[in-house]
Structure 1
Amino acid sequence: MIVVTRLNLSRFAVNPDLIERVQASPDTTIVMVDGARFVVRETMDELIAQITAFRASVLAQASRLASARQAEGL
């Protein structure tokens, strides 16, 4: 999950796997696969960085788990 901020400063978490697209015109809008739209304070570049970091952490954790299982002989 990534944490984003609405224009009224309330924060919420979004599953980045369910983001269809991000628009910036001029406010940044997240469009979800179900059509829901969220206008947020983060820039498009900040969102892309958050999504990239989230996905990298998922891959790193999967790699650690695979290495641990391999070390255990599973």
Structure 2
Amino acid sequence: MIVVTRLNATQFAVNPDLIERIHESPDTTLVMVDGAKYIVTESLGEVIDLIAAYRARIISLARFVQTPAVDPTEPGTPRPLGLVRDADPTSGGGAAHVHVPDPPVPLRPRTT
């Protein structure tokens, strides 16, 4: 959630994932996906900076989420999601344990 300020100086929090667009003419208006509109005192650039900081905070917090140990051989066990690890500083660059996908299968010409 990001905290923004109404024209009467009260603050409220809004979920930036639900903002459809932002207008600035002359007041900054947040238009939500459900059609609700909020006029705020922050400028367009300030709202964008708040959203970027929010997303950066979420990504940085996700790095420290511990995934539970699962047995992949057990039926019905979902595969855990993994994050890309940071590069090993002793290896001279490159991310550790990066999965390189197989090359695409070439297309064959149609025979008629």
TM norm. shorter chain > 0.5: yes
Stretches (4+) displaced over 6 A: none
Q: Give the aligned residue type for 1:55.
A: R
Instruction: Considering fraction of residues, name the structure with more helix.
Output: 1
Q: Secondary structure at the match of 1:8?
A: coil
Q: TM-score, normalised by structure 1?
A: 0.88
**Corresponding pairs, count:** 69
- Residue 63 of structure 1 and its aligned partner are, at CA, apart by 1.0
Identity of aligned residues (%): 55
Please list, as runs of the form range in 1=range in 2, the aligned pairs for 1:12-51 lying within 5 A after superposition.
12-51=12-51
User: Which structure's relative contact order is higher, taking Cα pairs within 8 Å and 6+ residues apart?
Assistant: 1
Unaligned 5+ segments in structure 2 are 70-112
Instruction: Considering fraction of residues, name the structure with more strand.
Output: 1
Q: TM-score, normalised by structure 2?
A: 0.59
1:13-62 per-position Cα deviation (integer Å, ceiling 9, x unaligned): 00000000000000000000000000000000000000000000000000
